[in-house]
């Protein structure tokens, strides 16, 4: 895949994911409860706004403010720029590989936007589960990151098994 096609795919995924994530976060902030979760589908889905100052499952949320700013703004921005460069310049030119990296880049970028716009926190609002077995609270950007990582894993697994 040429660098122009890679760039177009990355831009399409980036604009689509960021627009979807940011619009759902704005809707959630304006319309969902912050104290009591809105329960749907026999409590399989819970919607409730949460402000996450940390990373995955609030990891690092208790760190001092200067550390959180350095890690979750500057550090993440540097990692996303490196991922963008790798996505555009990597040897592997398979469309699925580029798509997967673009999803991870898009989710990370949208959460980074939150960090700059929302005083350092990310808006989360989705929780899934059954009974006491539940996920953490997450957002659409997190879904993009997980799907991208899953696609990379599948591609890696397929690559190893096709060579055997």
Residues labelled catalytic: 124, 142
| Exposed/middle/buried for residue 147 (C-beta within 10 Å: 0-12, 13-18, 19+) | middle
The conformational region for residue 60 under phi > 0 = left, psi -120 to 50 = alpha, else beta, is left
How many residues does the structure list for the chain? 164
Residue 126 CA to residue 136 CA, distance in Å, equals: 8
In which residue are the tokens 């894993």 written?
A: 153
Phi first, then psi: give them for residue 141, nearest 5 degrees.
-60, -40
Can you tell me whether residue 119 is helix, strand or coil? coil
Sign of CA dihedral 111, 113, 114, 115: positive
In which residue are the tokens 């959180």 written?
A: 68
In which residue are the tokens 């403010």 written?
A: 65
């Amino acid at each position: 895949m040429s660098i122009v096609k890679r760039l177009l795919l990355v831009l399409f995924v980036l604009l689509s994911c960021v627009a979807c994530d940011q619009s759902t976060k704005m809707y959630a902030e304006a319309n969902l409860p912050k104290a009591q979760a809105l329960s749907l589908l026999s409590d399989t889905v819970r919607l409730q706004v949460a402000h996450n100052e940390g990373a995955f499952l609030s990891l690092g949320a208790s760190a001092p403010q200067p550390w959180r700013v350095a890690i979750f703004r500057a550090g993440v921005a540097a990692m996303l720029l490196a991922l963008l460069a790798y996505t555009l310049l990597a040897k592997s030119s398979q469309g699925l590989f580029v798509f997967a990296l673009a999803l991870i880049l898009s989710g990370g970028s949208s959460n980074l936007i939150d960090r700059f716009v929302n005083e350092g926190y990310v808006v989360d609002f989705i929780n899934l589960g059954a009974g006491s077995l539940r996920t953490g609270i997450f957002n659409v950007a997190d879904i993009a990151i997980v799907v991208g990582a899953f696609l990379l894993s599948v591609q890696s697994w397929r690559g190893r098994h096709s060579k055997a």
